[in-house]
Chain A
Amino acid sequence: MKKCLIILACIIAPIVQAVASEQCRDEVFLRRAYLTVTGALPSPQESAKFLDDNRPDKREKLINRLLNRELALQYTLMHWGDILRIKSEFPSNLWPNGVQAYNRWIYEKLMNNVPYDQMVRELLLSTGSNFRDPAANFYRGFQERSPENFYANINLLFLGNRNCADNGYLCFSQIKFKSTKEWKEEIIYIDYRKELPWQQIKLADGTILQPDYNTDWREAYVNWLTSPENRRFAEVMVNRMWFWVFGRGIVHEPDDWREDNQPSDPALLKELTDYFIKSKYNMKALMKKILMSEQFNSKMAPEGTYQPQRLPAEVIVDAIASSTGRWNKYSSRVPEPFTFYPPQTRATHLGDATVSSTELELFGKVSRDVSLESQRSNALTSRQLLYLMNSSALEQRIRKSPALKKICEQYTTVEQVADAITLRVLSRRATPQEVELYNKHKADNSLSMNELAYDIMWIQINSNEFLYNH
Chain B
Amino acid sequence: MRKIYLTLILLFAISFAAEAQRAKSVILIYLDGGPAQTDTFDPKPQAGRNYHGNYKGVAKTNVEGIEIGEKLPLLATMADKYTLIRSMTHGSNAHETGHYAMITGDTSKGAVVYPSFGAVISYMLRDKYKGILPRYISVTSANSRFNEGGFLGNEYKSFDTGGRPESKMYEVDGVVNRFVNRERMDSRMAMLAEFEKGQMDKQLIDSLRGVNMEFIWGESRELFNLANEPDSVRTRYGKSRLGQSCLVARKLVEAGVPFVNVRTTGWDTHKKHFQKMNSMLTNLDKALSALLADLDKRGLLDSTIVLCGGEFGRTPKVLWEAPWNGGRAHYGKTFSYLVAGGGFHGGKVVGKTDKTGENVVERPVRPCDLIGTVYLLMGIDPYGTLPHVSEGDLPILPSLIKNDQSGGLLYEIIDIKKPDYEKK
Contacts and interface: CB of A to CB of B under 8 A. Distances in A.
B180 A395 contact: yes
A455 B211 CA distance: 21
Interface stretch (B197-205, B283-291, B302-310, B315-323): B197-205
B185 A390 contact: yes
A390 B175 contact: yes
A434 interface: yes
B151 A385 contact: no
Given A385-B208, A390-B177, A372 B188 contact: no
A90 B154 contact: no
B208 A465 contact: no
A305 B261 CA distance: 45
Given A367-B113, A372-B389, A462-B192, A377 B177 contact: no
B275 interface: no
Interface in A356-379: 356, 358, 361, 364, 367, 369-370, 372, 374-375, 377
A462 B162 CA distance: 21
B199 A464 contact: yes
Contact of A393 (B111, B173, B194): B173
Contacts of A369: 112-113, 147, 150-151
Nearest to B149: A367
A470 interface: yes
B200 A370 contact: no
Interface stretch (A18-26, A284-292, A437-445): A437-445
A382 interface: yes
B209 A358 contact: no
A364 B154 contact: yes
Contacts of A372: 389-390
Nearest to A459: B192
B3 interface: no
A162 interface: yes
B144 A437 contact: no
Interface stretch (A141-149, A192-200, A209-217, A268-276): A141-149
A2 interface: no
A93 B99 CA distance: 14
Contact of B154 (A377, A382, A465): A377
Nearest to A458: B188
A392 interface: yes
Interface residues of B, number: 57
Interface string A416-455: 0000000000000000001001100100110000000001
Contacts of A149: 111
A463 interface: yes
Interface string B386-420: 00011000000000000000000000000000000
A361 B144 contact: yes
A382 B113 contact: no
Nearest to A386: B174
Given A143-B109, A369-B151, A162 B390 contact: yes
Given A367-B113, A377-B153, A385 B205 contact: yes
Nearest to A444: B187
Contacts of B390: 162, 256, 370, 372
B95 interface: yes
Nearest to B174: A386
B111 A335 contact: no
Interface in A310-361: 334-335, 354, 356, 358, 361
B231 interface: no
Contacts of B185: 389-390
Given A358-B141, A464-B199, A464-B202, A381 B187 contact: no
Contacts of A115: none
A399 interface: yes
A465 B173 contact: no
A162 B192 CA distance: 44
A382 B207 CA distance: 9
Contacts of A390: 174-175, 177, 180, 185, 212, 216
Task: Determine which residue in B188, B194, B216 has the highest number of CB atoms from chain A within 10 A of its CB, and name it.
Answer: B188
Contact of A391 (B174, B194, B204, B205): B174
A380 B205 contact: yes
B128 interface: no
Given A377-B153, A377-B154, A462-B192, A90 B212 contact: no
B204 A380 contact: yes
Nearest to A434: B195
A455 B184 CA distance: 9
A334 to B, nearest CB: 6
B200 A470 contact: yes
A389 B145 contact: no
A262 to B, nearest CB: 19
Interface of B: 95-97, 99-100, 109-113, 134, 141, 144-147, 149-151, 153-155, 157, 159-160, 162, 171, 173-180, 184-185, 187-188, 191-192, 194-196, 199-200, 202, 204-205, 208-209, 211-212, 215-216, 389-390
When A and B form their complex, which 6 residue pairs have the shortest distance between CB atoms, in order from nearest?
Answer: A367-B147, A386-B174, A369-B113, A382-B208, A90-B146, A90-B96
Interface of A: 89-91, 93, 142-144, 149, 152, 162, 256, 300, 308, 334-335, 354, 356, 358, 361, 364, 367, 369-370, 372, 374-375, 377, 380-383, 385-387, 389-393, 395-396, 399, 434, 437-438, 441, 444-445, 455, 458-460, 462-465, 467-468, 470
Given A372-B389, A381-B208, A463-B195, 12 more contacts: A91-B146, A335-B95, A369-B112, A369-B113, A370-B151, A370-B390, A377-B155, A381-B154, A389-B209, A438-B191, A459-B188, A468-B200
17 contacts: A90-B145, A93-B96, A143-B110, A356-B144, A361-B157, A381-B154, A382-B208, A382-B215, A383-B134, A385-B205, A390-B174, A392-B179, A393-B162, A445-B187, A455-B191, A459-B191, A459-B195
